[in-house]
Homo-oligomer: A and B are copies of this chain.
Amino acid sequence: MKELDKITPLEKDFSKWYTDVVKQGNLIAYGPLKGTLVFKPNAYGIWEIIQKELNEYFKEYGVQNVYLPLLIPERLFNKEKEHIEGFNPELATITKVGDADLDEKVFIRPTSEVLFADLFKNSIESYKDLPIIYNQWANVVRWEKTTNPFLRSREFLWQEGHTCHNNAMEARQYTRSMISLYAKFMKNFLAIPVIIGKKTPKEKFAGACTTYTVEAMMKDGRALQSGTSHYLAQNFSKTFDISFKNENNDREFVYQTSWGVSTRLLGAIIMTHGDNRGIIIPPRVAPVQIDILELFGNKNEKVKKVANDLKKQLSRTFRVRLDDTDKNPGFKASNSEIQGTPLRIEVGPRDLENNQVTIVRRDTLEKIVLPVDKVKQTVKQLLVDIHNNLYMQAKYRLNENTVVVLNYDEFKNQIKQQKFVLAPFCCHDEQEELIKEQTGATTRCIPKTVIKPTKNAPCITCNRVTKRFVVFARAY
C-alpha cells in the first residue's frame, strides 16, 4: 500500500508544491520517455467530464465531432510557410518503419490545420456546403525542451475546432463566439475567472490573422493561457485551394477559424484552487464529488449499512465513491483530501449513536454534523456553495492582483511582485522582446472590455500616445 507523502507548502516553493500535488493526487505518473505523462484516473476523469460538458456547449454552435489522422506527410506540412516555421523545431519525425527507411518524412501532428485544409479542399463545392463546423478530440506532439506536467509536455490532449465559412464576418463572429464559450465554460465548470482579449501580432498563432485568448491567474500570480480561438481569414484556404462557388456562381476562397483548449486546463485547476493539502477539484468536473468513508466499518454493522445506503441514495444524483477498506480514519480523510474530492461524508459509530454523520468541505475544511436524512439536500447545496466559493476567491485574487501602470519603472516593479499589469503599449515586436528580456513578462492580451484609467496614454516603452492597453505578466 502506497503511503501518502508530504506536500511542500505552496508559500515555500510553488513549483515544488505543484509537482508534489500532481504526483500525490492520483493525477499523474511520468512516462518512460522524458516529458511524457500518464493521466491517472483522477486526472483523466476530470478530462472526460470536460469533454462531455464542452461537447454539450459545442452542440449549441452546430459543432460536429470528427477524427483526423495523427500523421502528416512532409509535403503537406511544408505548404504553409509561416505555419511550418512556427512548428518545425518541435516536430517529431518518423523516418523508418521497422528496419526500412521511408521515402518521405512523416510528422506527428503538432496541430491539425493542414490536415483539415486537405479535408476541406475535397469536401466543399458550393456555398450550400457551408459553414462546416468540425471539432476533434485528439493527442498532439510537440517536442518541448523543458516540460511540466499538464502545462507543457511532449504529448498533450486537446480539442481543436476547425471551421469554414462563406464570408469573413461570419468567420470573425464565430472566432469571438468560441472564445466567449471558453470563458463561460471555465467560469461555470472550472470556477476559474479569465481575462478575454486579443494576442499581439508577436504572440498570435503561426498562420492566423487574429488570435483571441483566455488568460487565467495562477496562485503564484503567473498567467496561464487557457484557450485560444484563431481567425485564419483566407491564409490556409488560399494556400490549400479551399474554394466554393458563391451565389453568383463565382469561385471564392473560404474563411476559416480554429480554436482549442487542452489538458493545460488541469494545470489551471490545480494552480487556481489547490492548497497545501493538494488539489481541490471544482464539483462540476470532479470524477468523485463525494467520498463516503466508513470509520471502523469492519467492526460495526450499522456503519456499514448507513454508508452503503448513503452510497446507493446519493449515486442517483452525484458521483460517489465508498471507502470501505480497513484503513484508519485519518488515512482515509487524508486520501480523500489529497485527491481533491469536494465533499467527504464520515460515517462513524459515535455520530451514528445520534443518527448523525459528519460532512467535511474540501475547500474550507468546515465540518457539518447532521442527521442522516438531511444529507442529500445538504450535499446538493454544499456542492453549489463550493463552486461559488472557489470562483469568488479566484475572482477576488485576479482583481486584487491586476494593476494599471503608466510608466516603465512602475511596470518593472509590479511585474517583480508577480502582478498582472495593464499598461499602454504600442505592440512593436522588438519592444515586446526587450520587455521580456528585462522583466520576464510577456504580453498576455489586449483585453476587450476593461476599465482603462484614461482613453489614451503614452506607450511605456516608446512614449508614443496609444489607445491600446495591454495585459503583461510572467506566464507558464
Interface residues of A (CB under 8 A from B): 1-2, 29, 31-33, 36-41, 44-45, 47-48, 64-73, 76, 88-98, 105-106, 108, 115, 118-119, 122-123, 125-126, 128-129, 134, 138-139, 141, 143, 154-155, 157, 325
Closest-by-CB residue of B relative to A52 is B52
Partner of A32, one of B1, B29, B66, B118: B118
Further contacts, 4 of them, CB under 8 A, given A31-B118, A39-B67, A39-B68: A36-B69, A38-B115, A95-B96, A108-B108
For the complex, give the distance between the alpha carbons of A66 and B44 in Å: 5
B91 touches A97 (CB 8 A): yes
For the complex, give the distance between the alpha carbons of A139 and B325 in Å: 36
- Contacts A1-B128, A31-B115, A76-B32; A94 near B108 (Cβ below 8 A): yes
3 A-B pairs closest in CB distance: A36-B69, A31-B69, A39-B67
Q: Which residues of B contact A92 (CB under 8 A)?
A: 71, 94, 97, 106
Q: List 11 A-B contacts (CB under 8 A).
A: A29-B122, A31-B68, A31-B118, A32-B72, A32-B115, A38-B68, A41-B66, A45-B64, A71-B141, A71-B155, A97-B143
For the complex, give the distance between the alpha carbons of A96 and B88 in Å: 11
Closest-by-CB residue of B relative to A325 is B128
For the complex, give the distance between the alpha carbons of A94 and B33 in Å: 12
CB distance from A239 to the nearest CB of B (A): 14
CB distance from A24 to the nearest CB of B (A): 13
Q: Which residues of B contact A65 (CB under 8 A)?
A: 41, 44-45, 48
A71 touches B119 (CB 8 A): no
For the complex, give the distance between the alpha carbons of A44 and B129 in Å: 19
A36 touches B97 (CB 8 A): no
For the complex, give the distance between the alpha carbons of A2 and B132 in Å: 13
Closest-by-CB residue of B relative to A47 is B67
CB distance from A267 to the nearest CB of B (A): 15
For the complex, give the distance between the alpha carbons of A138 and B96 in Å: 22
Partner of A95, one of B36, B95, B115: B95
For the complex, give the distance between the alpha carbons of A72 and B89 in Å: 21
